[in-house]
Amino acid sequence: MSYDNYPLVKLNNRNFLLSIYPTWHTRLFPESKLKNEDGSLIRDISHTNSIEKVYLTGMRDTLKLRAGDNLLIYRTSDGKGPARYRSVATSVCVVLDTKDIREFENYTEFKQYCGPYSVFSEDELMLLYNKKNYPTIIRFTYNFPLEKKIVRDDIMTITGYTDADYWGFLPLDDLHFKRIILDGGVNEGYIVN
């Protein structure tokens, strides 16, 4: 896999907000952990130390992702208040590859592809493979965290999205994607036009 220009992100009008539940978010992105989160969820294992990550999801349209697409990682609400103020953008990633779980001929192939960089234990991987209810596998690089987390309310103001939109997976145009990143305190030098 090529990491040319890593950790820079290139604007290409292929930017997407990808939501991740808090438990999985903290395990997969320890560098983007919120200040009020319990650090005991983080363990010193490969997926926490790697710039390459793997995530499985059942969210609609995620299989349309392709190499080079930018992801704005969005940690969903912890349920302790309105999502508008508890859900936050935390990180920027770039897609390396996507696969459908049914592409793998057997569990061994699936585990070899996903295991080293996923948040899932071997038992969880086996269950995911057998059930196939999270069929989209997204492999991506973790490029950088947002220094300041951007709450959903601010994202709504920037993008025009509303509570009626599906916040699991949303397209973002270059202007909105860049604005969210810059509002998050990231140096503009990390963004290539």
Residues 73/18, Cβ–Cβ less than 8 Å: yes
What is the per-residue pLDDT across 35-92, written as a single tens digit (0 to 9) for each? 444 444 434 444 445 799 999 999 989 999 999 999 999 999 888 888 899 999 999 9
Domain ranges of the chain: 9-192
What is the per-residue pLDDT across 169-189, written as a single tens digit (0 to 9) for each? 999 999 999 999 999 999 999
- Name the CA dihedral angle for 124, 126, 127, 129, rounded to a multiple of 10 degrees: 120
**Fold of the domain spanning 9-192:** ph1033 like fold (3.10.590)
Check: pTM over 0.75? Answer yes or no: yes
Residues 159/176, Cβ–Cβ less than 8 Å: yes
- Name the CA dihedral angle for 129, 144, 88, 171, rounded to a multiple of 10 degrees: -70
H or E stretch at 130: helix 122-131
For the stretch 122-131, contacts whose Cβ atoms lie closer than 8 Å and that sit 24 or more positions apart, written own/partner, are: 128/56, 128/101, 129/101, 129/104
Question: What is the per-residue pLDDT for 31?
Answer: 61
